[in-house]
Structure 1
Amino acid sequence: MNKIMTPEEIAENGKGVIDEIIRMSDFNFDRLPMLDIIGERLADALTAVLPDVTGVIVEASLNSLDYLPMAQAIDGISMPSFFGIVEANHLNGAILLALDSTFALTTMELMLGGSPKGELKRQSEEFTAIERGFARRIGDILTVELRRCLAMVADVDMELDRIETDPDSSMVTQPTSLVCRMRFAVALAGRTGMFDAIIPYDALEPIRPKLGKIHYGEPNEDGSPWKDQLTGQIERSVVELEAVLTEIELPIQTLLNWKPGETVNLWIEEDHEARVICAETEMFKALMGKRNNGNTAIRITERIEAEEETDHGRDID
């Protein structure tokens, strides 16, 4: 249901919008559309990479991409948080990664084999040395993925320099300087944490022309980074396999008459080959057997080639 605002509230909100327009008019900048694409790619990369270290399904999404002063970007971060300062050799400044406590500590708990339940509850606003160490490991992962995503525009060497917990010690540019803030929501283990990537606008000067126009990367000596990333994501995917020994047809009346202890004749020999099926597609032929520990196993004997597509019963050349 839409809220009915009073004249005073309308006037106050209007004043806030005008103040924001005046404040942003002090900055002379162009929006960089490639950052939106890079942010979406980074969210997809985190969704694929973080399950490897947490052991749970992770859903990361780009919530917003804003251009705002550094001080306002810091004020918008919930405390307590971890601040990772990333040195970027090919940019004119450092990058700030801000991990809120929900995201960082839930990831840490999962990395240690725990099973987080309910909302995160802490008795202290201070972080321990162990928590800071795990925050650095998470920051290293985020830095690697951010570098890979920026590679579609330019090769930028990045390395996580240090982890801070004091926002005043985490300023990567002047408080009044313009920054680009990519804000991500990361859902894992029933909790949703936040992660911000804050990049000073002036630091992007060496690659700003490429960020100002939409393109999908250029060939370089290292090949296609997105092809490599896609290959890696496919290799990390999990699929279900079914080992089918045989299939028989029986009258439904026979099935209805079955009782516990009934013996069903499969009409096959002991060395009958099984078929391994994935997503309703036959993949392999295999022989049934047992391992030394007594577990049932199958040995792949032959790959089943996919049938060529046909059009009205005729092969398509």
Structure 2
Amino acid sequence: MRDPHSEAIEEQIIAQSMTNFERLPMLDVIFERFGLAFAAALKSFTSTVADVELSKLISTTYAGALRELPENCLLAIAREQGWDASFAVGMDGDFLYAALDLMLGGRGGPTAPKTTRGFTAIERRIGQTLAELMLRELASSFRQVAEVQFEVERMEGSVQLASISKPISPCVLANFRVKLGDTQGRISILLPHLAVEPIRPLLAKVFFGDRLGADQGWRDHLQERITQSNVKLTAVLHEVEVPLADVLGWTIGSTLDLHVGLDHEATVFCSGEPVFRGATGRRQNGAVALRITKDLTPSKEALHDLARD
């Protein structure tokens, strides 16, 4: 007689072998960006200190992802018109009750003891508003790979009713810790692979670098520090090639003809790169000076494009 426990393990192994957990590196970047963006949006929405941190990102089956969600969880089933399937964003009771308390004039203190009751109509309505806020920031984070627009299809107060994919279908689950005032809650994004199939090749690319967030203050600070830095400039009047045999024949008193006229311009280098050309001369105080006549740096359009990036 076979052990039922062994049979259950075998079934799990078979199910795992049938599931293709394709690596989608760009989702890591998108969810990190979403955490930063949603924290700023939540702070503005609730008028209190908010912090959002990605705590867990796993690839699993849809059934396994549902088991990771808390029991007391309000789910928003969402969709993008160009995608073939829906996905879900979830909010646990602690986060939802804290946001509701702040929106109704509370101070963001500890929430009431946990309960397994269903969500009321007003809690569902506030939850949908928060879900729409999450989806707006998530869409903004996705736009570095594709232009998307998400909308809420329906709200579900039970995990069992959120049937948007087959139990063994591969999906990605992202859990975020949310600190809102003195309360810590949790939000989740459950993204079936089938939903992102239209942009899967873009998500599968390895990410090498891009802008993260839109902190203009940090950019201004970095630009200010760069413009205040000191650099070493070298003015080269002329360069000639001379045979080594002639160089070996030089002695003290030898005269070198550089073939430089009075109107010959010098080239100014910075870190080995040419930046200007200029005419040399002397000021009234006797100091040697150089008047810039040509800019050798990249075009202004290219610099503006670099600044926008």
Q: Is the 8 A contact 2:77 2:88 kept in 1?
A: yes
1:147-176 deviations in Å (ceiling 9; x for gaps): 111111111221112211022221211122
1:84 corresponds to: 76
Change (3 A) 1:176 1:56: same
- CA positional deviation for 1:214: 2.5
Q: 1:165 aligns with which of 152, 157, 165?
A: 157
1:80-134 deviations in Å (ceiling 9; x for gaps): 1111011111222111011111111111111222013235325561211111110
Change (3 A) 1:103 1:55: same
Distance 2:103 2:9 in 1: 43
- CA positional deviation for 1:215: 3.8
Matched, 1:189 2:108: no
Partner amino acid, structure 2, of 1:49: A
2:139 corresponds to: 147
Q: Is the 8 A contact 2:89 2:189 kept in 1?
A: yes
- CA positional deviation for 1:17: 10
Change (3 A) 1:130 1:234: farther
Any unmatched runs of 5+ in structure 1? 1-15, 219-225, 238-278, 280-304
2:234 corresponds to: none
Change (3 A) 1:189 1:208: same
1:50-65 mapped onto 2 (5 Å cutoff): 50-65=42-57
Distance 2:201 2:50 in 1: 34
Superposition TM-score, scaled by structure 1 size: 0.62
Q: Is the 8 A contact 2:21 2:60 kept in 1?
A: no
1:212 corresponds to: 204
1:11-58 deviations in Å (ceiling 9; x for gaps): xxxxx9999766432212321000111111111111211100111111
Q: Is the 8 A contact 2:108 2:180 kept in 1?
A: no
Identity value in percent: 28
Matched, 1:105 2:97: yes
1:127-276 mapped onto 2 (5 Å cutoff): 127-215=119-207, 230=214, 234=216
1:93 corresponds to: 85
Change (3 A) 1:112 1:311: same
Distance 1:87 1:310 in 2: 49
1:291 corresponds to: none
Partner amino acid, structure 1, of 2:139: R
Change (3 A) 1:21 1:183: farther
Q: Is the 8 A contact 2:72 2:115 kept in 1?
A: no
- Give the superposed CA RMSD: 3.3
Matched, 1:309 2:309: no
Any unmatched runs of 5+ in structure 2? 1-7, 232-269, 276-309
- The 4+ residue runs of structure 1 with deviation greater than 6 A are 16-21
Q: Is the 8 A contact 1:152 1:216 kept in 2?
A: no
1:36 corresponds to: 28
Count matched residues. 225
Distance 1:172 1:131 in 2: 23
Distance 2:229 2:201 in 1: 49
2:60 corresponds to: 68
| 3-state secondary structure, aligned to 1:130 | helix
Superposition TM-score, scaled by structure 2 size: 0.64
Larger radius of gyration: 2
Distance 2:16 2:120 in 1: 39
Q: Is the 8 A contact 1:86 1:158 kept in 2?
A: yes
Change (3 A) 1:115 1:177: same
Partner amino acid, structure 2, of 1:63: S
Distance 1:125 1:61 in 2: 28
Distance 1:184 1:141 in 2: 15
| 3-state secondary structure, aligned to 1:65 | strand
Matched, 1:47 2:47: no
Partner amino acid, structure 1, of 2:42: L
Distance 1:115 1:143 in 2: 26
Change (3 A) 1:140 1:21: same
Change (3 A) 1:212 1:112: same
- CA positional deviation for 1:310: 6.8
Q: Is the 8 A contact 1:70 1:171 kept in 2?
A: no
